[in-house]
Amino acid sequence: MAMGRTILFLCVLAVFPCAHLSYAQEGNEAQPQKCSKLLIRKEWRTLTHSEKTEWVGAVKCLASIRHERLSLTKDQTVLEGKRSLYLFDTSLRDTCGYNGPTPYWDWSRDHADLFASPVFGDSAEYGLGGTGDCDSSPEADCTVTTGAFAPSTGNFELAWPIPHALRRNLTLITGWFDHELPQNRTLGPEFVRNSTEQTTGDFFRFQYAMTLMHNHVHNFVGGDLAGDCPAGLREEDCKGMAISFTPNDPLFWLHHVQLDRLWSEWQRHHPFNFAAFSGMPLNPQNMTDPRYDLNAHADHHMSFDVQSVPVAPRSVFDTESWPLCYRYTDES
């Protein structure tokens, strides 16, 4: 999986354009590589129709590639069939020829009416589609019926953990929790602003706010993005797998790039933030919080899968330096 900065504190998959870290040798000293160019990240609604169409086409290309990989249920039973080679930003470019901007979804602009967000457009060429059909029959399984990823387009099927159509169930109240409040309560501009401006130097508090925003978008979208089991997989086989197939929904990537953008904004809000990365709360009253983790520090090497080498958070603080090599635009 092409890894990104958000995995370092959310324990989820994200996106940066260089999956492999290496260094150029000059004499006897290792010199860090430099960016040959900066890739651009833009908000979804600012992309042209052509740019959206090209991105959607590359996503379909990537999802169509199958490879042999063992996929196991909780009791270690092997699931049959080939899996999709669904890495991401690097593979969109290297494998599927995509050369446009990496999109993100600024859901804070849509928080008052998430259902009407342009990201849920119904264009068969470049729309990401809306909520799924959860009511017509049990077999409908909340399948998305609009946009470029609907079954009617005939060329998009998810392959993890089993072949199935893209599923969503947009809802502000999931019914999963007692005394649940609407999912959009943490997604508005004021909450975002407080998260990035009122947590100076305290990565622990910033991380907590980001985790709320992260989780509420996953829960609002539902279906694959919430890790709901597809109808063709037995419930007992699906347990423990949920987080592994949330990237099935292309919205996963737009959402996680938005989170990465907010981290970048937080870093640049105050010098104390730029290299802040710690599981240690600044407030001593929080020291007993179970989320506190001594092992979370800027030089801790985090192991990923066979596609990448261990990465220390310190090496990916600056998005405009190698190995990340991208920047955000805020055009509206």
- Domain boundary assignment for the chain: 7-328
Q: What is the pLDDT of residue 21?
A: 32
Please give the class, per CATH, of domain 7-328. Answer: mainly alpha
**Residue 255: is its pLDDT beyond 90?**
yes
CA distance 196 to 121: 29
Q: What is the pLDDT of residue 18?
A: 33
pLDDT digits (tens, 9 = 90+) for 52-106: 999 999 999 988 887 655 455 556 565 565 555 557 888 899 899 999 999 999 9
Show Cβ contacts of residue 23 under 8 Å, excluding neighbours closer than 6 positions. Answer: 30, 31, 32, 33
If you average pLDDT over residues 189-201, what whole number do you get? 96
- Cis check: omega of the bond before 161, within 30 degrees of 0: yes
Strand order through the sheet with 102-104: 102-104, 39-43, 326-328
114 exposed, middle or buried (CB, 10 Å; 0-12, 13-18, 19+)? Answer: buried
Q: What is the pLDDT of residue 22?
A: 32
Q: What is the pLDDT of residue 12?
A: 33
Beta carbons within 10 angstroms of residue 166's beta carbon: 26
Q: What is the pLDDT of residue 120?
A: 98
Q: What is the pLDDT of residue 310?
A: 75
User: pTM value?
Assistant: 0.86
pLDDT digits (tens, 9 = 90+) for 260-301: 999 999 999 999 999 999 877 777 776 777 777 777 889 988
H or E element, residue 215: helix 203-221
Residue with the two structure tokens 């063992």? 70
How many residues belong to the chain? 332
**Residue 306: is its pLDDT beyond 70?**
no
Window from 59-73, 187-201, 309-323 with minimum mean pLDDT: 59-73
